[in-house]
Amino acid sequence: MEIQRVGVIGAGQMGNGIAHVFALAGYDVRLNDVSQEALENAVLVIGRNLDRQVRRQAITEDEKAAALARIVTTVKSEDLGDSDLIVESATEREEVKRAIFDNLIPHLSPEAILTTNTSSISITRLGAATDRPGKFMGLHFMNPVPLMQLVELIRGIATEEQTFETMKGVVARLGKTSANAEDFPAFIVNRILLPMINEAVYTLYEGVGTVDSIDTAMKLGANHPMGPLELADFIGLDTCLAIMNVLHDGLADTKYRPCPLMVKYVEAGWLGRKAGRGFYDYRGETPMPTR
């Protein structure tokens, strides 16, 4: 199946990045969100990120203008009806994702492929709740989408080989590299990454090190470009907690128990960069550790 028109659902940090890379690769994109304000902000963010690529001479001004022209925003799910491919990138809550697909499916052609950018939820279970489990799979981008080269391709039990091959070709056209992952909790990247972050939070919780010393140790001792607590703030502590809960519930192993300190930060609304506070306080000129 040839993919030409792509509907992206969710105009947040991941959704606007996904719309950006699809439009730059020549796809016609309809970006959908329940919030008009979120859509307007997404277009501004995409424009700024394209400007950065122009300054780095990664793209030309003409390519930037063409990409922006390919993006149309809408708050109406029915406007995505002629899409060949849907990429759902809403909040990491299964009931929200199911409701989005339930609302959208009546407007789509039977041939349209459905994908989700979930970082941890069962692809098999999500696909089984739709009218086309054979044309459903996981398409998990990394954050920030325009910069990160990896896309995890996750097949559910019912995903057809043609669907998989089509999406493998789409990822290649985006200029990214695909990694095939089996449909088990958190797939590959987050199955490895989030327990490391959770362990860093335990290290803080137990007083082994401070925020600064833990991040410095991992950056200089393990050559990580970003410390685990800084990375948790970048991802969003609510997202980190949601993934740890999926791992804990799905694998029934106590090694995946979310650190109580992470739970407390989420309860406080200290979700990281997007909230202005997490393991660092971002409200001043320089981020400062909060513990």
Q: What end-to-end distance do the CA atoms of the chain give, in Å?
A: 52
The pLDDT-based confidence of 161 (bands split at 50, 70, 90) is: very high
What is the secondary structure of 70-129 as a DSSP string?
TEEEES-GGGGTT-SEEEE---S-HHHHHHHHHHHGGGS-TT-EEEE--SSS-HHHHHHT
Residue 286: CB atoms within 10 Å: 7
The pLDDT-based confidence of 91 (bands split at 50, 70, 90) is: confident
The domains of the chain, with CATH numbers, are 5-181 (3.40.50.720), 190-289 (1.10.1040.10)
Give yes or no for residue 176 having a pLDDT over 90: yes
- DSSP letter at 257? P
Q: Copy the structure tokens of residue 213.
A: 């010393």
pLDDT for residue 92: 83
The pTM is what? 0.89
Give yes or no for residue 290 having a pLDDT over 90: yes
**Quick one: which of 239, 261, 286, 271 has its CA closest to 121?**
239
Averaged pLDDT for residues 144-173: 97
The pLDDT-based confidence of 95 (bands split at 50, 70, 90) is: very high
- Please tell me the distance from the alpha carbon of residue 242 to that of residue 258, in angstroms, as a whole number: 9
**Quick one: which of 149, 145, 148, 90 has its CA closest to 115?**
90
Residue range 220-237, pLDDT digits in tens: 999 999 999 999 999 999
Mean pLDDT rounded to a whole number for the chain: 96
The pLDDT-based confidence of 89 (bands split at 50, 70, 90) is: very high
pLDDT for residue 138: 98
The residues assigned a catalytic role are 119, 140, 152, 190
The pLDDT-based confidence of 93 (bands split at 50, 70, 90) is: confident
pLDDT for residue 1: 72
Averaged pLDDT for residues 208-219: 98
